[in-house]
Amino acid sequence: MGLRDDAPALALRGIAMAQLGDFARARLLVKLAARKFGAREAVARARCVVAEAEIALAARELAWPAKSLDNARATLELHGDRANAAHARYLGIRRLLLLGRLDEAEAALAQLDASKAPPALRAIHELALAGIAMRRLQAKSAQAALERAVQAARAARIPALMAEVAGVAQLLRAPAARLIVRGTGRLLSLEELEKFLASDVLVVDACRYLVRDGGHEVRLSRRPVLFTLARALAEAWPGDATRGALVARAFRARAADESYRARLRVELGRLRAVLRKLAALNATPHGFELVPRHAKEVVVLAQPAEEEYAEVLALLADGQSWSSSALALALRTSQRSVQRALDSLAANGKVEALGRGRARRWTMPPMPGIATSLLLSTSLAGD
């Protein structure tokens, strides 16, 4: 088989290379197999496209053309290969999850009826539901989906799938965030966090860069200075934050001279405008204070372990190898910014590079006991 270069042999060797972790070679072989299958072998060619997409997903190559996968899925459905067509749909959904496009992933899942699907696909369906629920801080929904995933994985009798479900269940029990209240911080599980957010509190969310109060929220991910000021005021609550402390946090300045004080007044005016429905910003003799309009408590929600480039580390903590381009897509930032972060982390020994040039990938050991983003991955499925 290793000496043959016909399409079926190339496809089988590609699957074998993928299972061995040689994703670059596996993708090349599967792509060659797809080209060698003739025009009359549309189903085989479509299956190769689906296999190539799964290899790309496992290698965290998220820029592969989703339209090609959709075309392959349509071909499989047309020829009655419903199992592989459904598998193609789940690959697209998993890609959306990795990119953080939760609404699109949820809409795609709603179109699928997994009740009559094979056990393995039912397990993947429930894992996707759990992933969405975890990202939206819905612990009860995530737990229910995981219980259904456990049953489906046991019925499928696939050890790798059962291990994956168990790993996700462990993440659900691990600390998901750090809560800072009146200067004191403590770790919270996702279930504890969901209960806390349902209470009457004003939350400055440093995980998603927003301020929320009940059903209202203000996103500040594109306004980092305003968010920094909001967090500094929330950490000082119920007291005030001095002008010097606010200048140091927001502008990284050592001294609050008149120019920085003027800039601080401008930025606080902007923050006051965007938070007008949630809180007031009042001047005090020494600085400014945050006064919630409806909530009885002000808290800060931070990542379990805060450090520079924490978002990059959260993605790499799944134990998979990522390309810098895939990280940039998932974080919605430039590849140059991601590369600078990776170079800095590598210099401190926190990440390591594998390969060279366009084949270079970045990885790190999983973070024990800390819940990071749920990153689904399954073994390459055969026909």
**Helix (H, G, I), strand (E, B), or coil: what is residue 206?**
coil
CATH 1.25.40: which residues of the chain? 7-173
Mean pLDDT of 142-158: 93
Look up the CATH number of domain 7-173. 1.25.40
For residue 338, with 0-12 CB atoms within 10 Å meaning exposed, 13-18 middle and 19 or more buried, which class applies?
buried
What the block records as the tokens of 312 is 């990059």
Would you tell me which CATH number, out of the four given (3.40.50.300, 3.30.70.360, 2.40.50.100, 1.10.10.10), belongs to the domain 310-363? Answer: 1.10.10.10
pLDDT band at 305 (very low <50, low <70, confident <90, very high): low
Total-model pTM:
0.71
Q: In the predicted model, is pLDDT for residue 20 greater than 80?
A: no
pLDDT of residue 382: 31
pLDDT of residue 196: 79
Whole-angstrom distance, CA of residue 380 vs CA of residue 383: 10
Is 272 in contact with 230 (CB distance < 8 Å)?
A: no
Is 327 in contact with 317 (CB distance < 8 Å)?
A: no
Q: Measured between alpha carbons, how far apart are the two ends of the chain, in Å?
A: 18
Amino acid type, 156: A
Look up the CATH number of domain 201-295. 1.10.10.10
Q: In the predicted model, is pLDDT for residue 373 greater than 60?
A: no
For residue 363, with 0-12 CB atoms within 10 Å meaning exposed, 13-18 middle and 19 or more buried, which class applies?
middle
Q: In the predicted model, is pLDDT for residue 29 greater than 60?
A: yes
**Helix (H, G, I), strand (E, B), or coil: what is residue 79?**
coil
CATH 1.10.10.10: which residues of the chain? 201-295, 310-363
Average per-residue pLDDT in the chain? Answer: 83
Q: In the predicted model, is pLDDT for residue 104 greater than 80?
A: yes
How do residues 338-360 score in pLDDT, each as one tens digit? 888 888 888 877 788 877 777 78
